[in-house]
Structure 1
Amino acid sequence: MTIQSFAESSGYLGGSNRRITYFSNSYVLGLTVVAGIGGLLFGYDTGVISGALLYIRDEFEEVNRSSFLQETIVSMALVGAMIGAAVGGWINDAFGRKKATLSADVVFALGSVVMAAAPNPYVLILGRLLVGLGVGVASVTAPVYIAEASPSEIRGGLVSTNVLMITGGQFLSYLVNLAFTEVPGTWRWMLGVSGLPAIIQFFLMLFLPESPRWLYLKKDKSEAIVVLSKIYDPYRLEEEIDQLATALVEERQRETRVSYSDVFRVKELRLAFLAGAGLQAFQQFTGINTVMYYSPTIVQMAGFNSNQLALLLSLIVAFMNALGTILGIYLIDHVGRRKLALSSLSGVTISLIILAVAFILEPYGSMNALYGWIAVVGLALYIAFFAPGMGPVPWTVNSEIYPEAYRGLCGGMSATVNWISNLIVAQSFLSVAEAVGTGPTFLILAAVAVAAFAFVAILVPETKGLTFEEVENIWKERAWGRDVSETGREPLLRTGNGH
């Protein structure tokens, strides 16, 4: 290992003795928080519908009678998010991360107004579609924007801040739900106030720069250097510019334009996308948004029939989700992405089994207090294990494993996989629970968590502390082996990580 690579991997800033920490640079932290408001929108929309649905059912009798209509109100935002994520990758690469964020804010704010004013369930579904479009674009854009403005040593923690904003948004949504339980037009207020963070982010984003990597490779090198100079000291700045210059030369040497088919045709891209998209799919199929969308309903299934009590218990679950994510911000750059995901999935599996047992042992078809509290404890443990690991790891890994030219496109495709998986879970949970029982449904999710553990152990590499270029070389090595000279490819960097 060279002295330079040792300095990088040990977390020190270039040739200086100042260690890079999460709070080292207030400018980078400010960019992260503002961009992370996109995560807040994501989280609020995820959480708010769970409480609002209780009151939508009270107002619209046809919704109360139909599990399918309830699932559609929840899931239509996911349909929009799928479209938004797919289009968002292209918008990011073509117009930049900043314009993508601004466009997401406009669409989300419009959707919140439509939801709040909806005269019937079908206009409400249209509003859910619009907010979903905004959330989908934001879900692609925020992690990439943060990653490209972050020093590699703390990139995981900073990208995980976006996930903290997601979980914070979910917690905020439960607070809002609880606050509006006695207010006329309950669910309209719950859904309508979601437009405020989008408006705030829009105006703050006008004063922030474009991603420095996107600027350098796509638009204006001098403007990019100005932004980079606020992130790095002079020694490290020179190093970053050299890496960007090399990346620019490689991009200009490409014989063909970037296309979706490349992701499946080029072996190293295919391997990276398999790992990234697989993580996103397993994040959803292990049941996280089942818990967040339907936690009040699950609590009521467990025997707590009061709307207010169900929302209060769900608020505690959401609070644990946010606390767990804060722990994840620390662990992801210390323990690493891979180990964190594996330990998280182990706990998730155990928690889902506890939930399943609580419902399977339900006596005489109606839960008593003991089994009800076991179910609530199972929910809390699930969040405690999920939040630090499988919450931030998929988004962090997907923000750093793709080459610059494909980062927006692959990130969008991977986020689309997340939203498709999310849609499948949200649209099917109540129906599956009705068909086979709540307990067996949680056993199915536990089996998926075991499969996810095997997937991570076999296919997901460790990327802690690596530069984007070093991560790219992991996939070249996996695709072509250590001796790549016969393929005519550049020899791999030796990072000391064993990949």
Structure 2
Amino acid sequence: MKFFEGGKYSYIAVAAADLLSFIVGTASAWSSPVIPKLQTLSDNPLGRQISQDEASWIGSLLSMGGIVSPLIWAYLVQKVGRKISGIVVVIPFLVAYLTSAFAETIELYYFGRVLMGIGIGGMFCVLPIYVVEVAEDVNRGLLAASTGCFLVAGMLFSYSIGPFVSIMAFNLILTGVVLVYIPAFWFFSPETPYYLVRENQDQKALKSLRYLRRRPLADLEAELTQIKKYLASMTEGTFLGIFQTKASIKAFIYSVALTTFQQFSGINVIFSYMQNIFDLTGSDIAPEICSIIVASVQLVSSFMSPLLSDKAGRRTLLLVSITGATICEVVLGVYFYLQDNDDDVSGIGWLPVVSLVVFMMFYNFGMGSLPWAIMPEILPSNVISKASLIVTCIYWFVGWILTQYFAELMEAVGGAGSFWLFSGFCVLFDLFVFFFIFETKGKSLQEIQQILSR
């Protein structure tokens, strides 16, 4: 079975672009090793322990930045292009990590977290569009899903380094990662042919295709003609344009549902508070080691989605992924229920680690990356920047609510109630995919729009 179909240089271009996703992964997991340090006096640059409320703000302000940033990035990605946007989007990370490296007040950590959120929101606006527009029909699913692999690798990087070095060293190391990305993306990732055609730069679009495909000129000209025909069928969209056709309305609703259900699985809460969650379970394994174990398994399992999304199909992977994740959260809820009722759980101290390990396996099998891979496939090109802006704002608003008030949720309904609530949303997620999402593998962007128009 041949997994890697299509021109090899499209893989190189996307791999360089995916370093942005790696950076986002480091920011997503940043609070997990940092918050425990700030809650003790050892290796704490503040000179005092932070309160639970301050810890909640550090965890949740990432999402706050993600709420407002799409307003910036959706404009830039259309006005200056995907490539320049891909460079500008890392500036917030650079400033955030340098600020956090030398911060001595809680307000500077807040500032850094908002900047990280602005950068993360930018990645979700810029990277999915870039990947879809440089990929081919035969490898679009694989390349789109590869973003999730790099994101998980970035998280593992933070979990593996953050607990064992000072906060200053940790942030300076992450600054170095950002500085590696900038030249890699600039030299190996061309502007997308779709954007260049839209800007009436056909010769540059042909040059981009030549780099990405390395095929005979006749084949490249045929693909260029197909791109022009597709874009010509799309009138320039507005926010109201999202709701002017049946296809765009359905694509928008599906995109909101897929990404919002992903948040309600509780995933960003787990990312932000993984060490704290393991502290609550009372597991015999050190919390920082638990985090590394979970992220390592998560990284290995994340490679299954790119390899299978163009073979088994997006819809099938999503259904399997969500079902498995649901079961794991139910089991984790049972553990917390026994613990909260003072039952002896010493004999099953391994259960929380195993539950989260298997949860992450199923999560990365499909539901981690595929909602964001499907979104740019189904949204019409003329409204994709506007629609993805709204989708991303909603996604991060939900994420902010969940991370900001997770401590209160745990206090109100306990660990059992919290994870059973998340599993209930996963059941609804499964039902939505089963009844509404159709298979997009192997279909051109034009064919997908025709299906949505029915």
Determine if the TM-score, normalized by the shorter chain, exceeds 0.5: yes
- What residue is the counterpart of 1:399 in the other structure? 376
Separation (CA, whole Å) in 1 of partners of 2:174 and 2:252: 32
Query: Structure 1's 363 and 407: CA in aligned 2 closer, same or farther, altered over 3 A?
Result: closer
Separation (CA, whole Å) in 1 of partners of 2:311 and 2:84: 33
The answer on whether the counterparts of 1:23 and 1:29 sit within 8 Å (CA) in structure 2 is: no
Query: What are the within-5 Å matches in structure 2 for residues 250-261 of structure 1?
Result: 250-251=233-234, 254=235, 257-261=236-240
Query: What are the within-5 Å matches in structure 2 for residues 439-450 of structure 1?
Result: 439-450=416-427
Query: Structure 1's 465 and 68: CA in aligned 2 closer, same or farther, altered over 3 A?
Result: same
User: Displacement, 1:219?
Assistant: 4.1
Deviations 1:415-440 (A, max 9, x none): 22222222222112221011111011
What's the % identity of the aligned pairs? 24
Query: Structure 1's 236 and 464: CA in aligned 2 closer, same or farther, altered over 3 A?
Result: farther
- What residue is the counterpart of 2:230 in the other structure? 247
Letter in 1 for 2:405: S
Select 1:48's aligned residue among 14, 30, 34: 30
- What residue is the counterpart of 2:50 in the other structure? 64
- What residue is the counterpart of 1:408 in the other structure? 385
Query: What are the within-5 Å matches in structure 2 for residues 7-86 of structure 1?
Result: 21-22=3-4, 24-58=6-40, 59=44, 60=46, 64-65=50-51, 67-86=52-71
The answer on whether the counterparts of 2:70 and 2:122 sit within 8 Å (CA) in structure 1 is: yes
User: Displacement, 1:266?
Assistant: 3.1
Deviations 1:165-224 (A, max 9, x none): 1001011111112431xxxxx223223432222222222233232111111112411000
Select 2:113's aligned residue among 100, 124, 128: 128
| Cα RMSD (Å) | 2.0
Select 2:287's aligned residue among 310, 329, 349: 310
Letter in 2 for 1:64: I
Letter in 1 for 2:203: S
Give the unaligned 5+ runs of structure 1.
1-18, 181-185, 478-499
The answer on whether the counterparts of 1:56 and 1:187 sit within 8 Å (CA) in structure 2 is: no
Select 1:188's aligned residue among 154, 164, 168: 168
Query: What are the within-5 Å matches in structure 2 for residues 5-404 of structure 1?
Result: 21-22=3-4, 24-58=6-40, 59=44, 60=46, 64-65=50-51, 67-180=52-165, 186-207=166-187, 208-232=189-213, 233-234=215-216, 236-251=219-234, 254=235, 257-304=236-283, 309-362=286-339, 365=342, 368-404=345-381
- The size of the alignment, in residue pairs, is 447
SS of residue paired to 1:64? coil
Letter in 2 for 1:25: G
User: Displacement, 1:466?
Assistant: 1.0
Query: Structure 1's 443 and 61: CA in aligned 2 closer, same or farther, altered over 3 A?
Result: farther
Separation (CA, whole Å) in 2 of partners of 1:366 and 1:74: 31
Separation (CA, whole Å) in 2 of partners of 1:473 and 1:61: 61
The answer on whether the counterparts of 1:57 and 1:64 sit within 8 Å (CA) in structure 2 is: yes
Rg: which structure is higher?
1
User: Displacement, 1:39?
Assistant: 0.5
User: Displacement, 1:365?
Assistant: 4.2
Separation (CA, whole Å) in 1 of partners of 2:386 and 2:419: 34
Deviations 1:260-290 (A, max 9, x none): 1221343321110111111111111111122
The answer on whether the counterparts of 2:76 and 2:85 sit within 8 Å (CA) in structure 1 is: yes
Separation (CA, whole Å) in 1 of partners of 2:11 and 2:208: 14
Separation (CA, whole Å) in 2 of partners of 1:247 and 1:152: 14
Separation (CA, whole Å) in 2 of partners of 1:63 and 1:347: 38
Which protein has greater RCO, CA pairs closer than 8 Å, 6+ apart? 2
Separation (CA, whole Å) in 2 of partners of 1:263 and 1:363: 47
User: Displacement, 1:443?
Assistant: 0.6
SS of residue paired to 1:466? coil
Separation (CA, whole Å) in 2 of partners of 1:38 and 1:416: 19
Separation (CA, whole Å) in 1 of partners of 2:80 and 2:315: 33
User: Displacement, 1:61?
Assistant: 7.7
Letter in 2 for 1:170: M
User: Displacement, 1:300?
Assistant: 0.8
Letter in 2 for 1:98: K
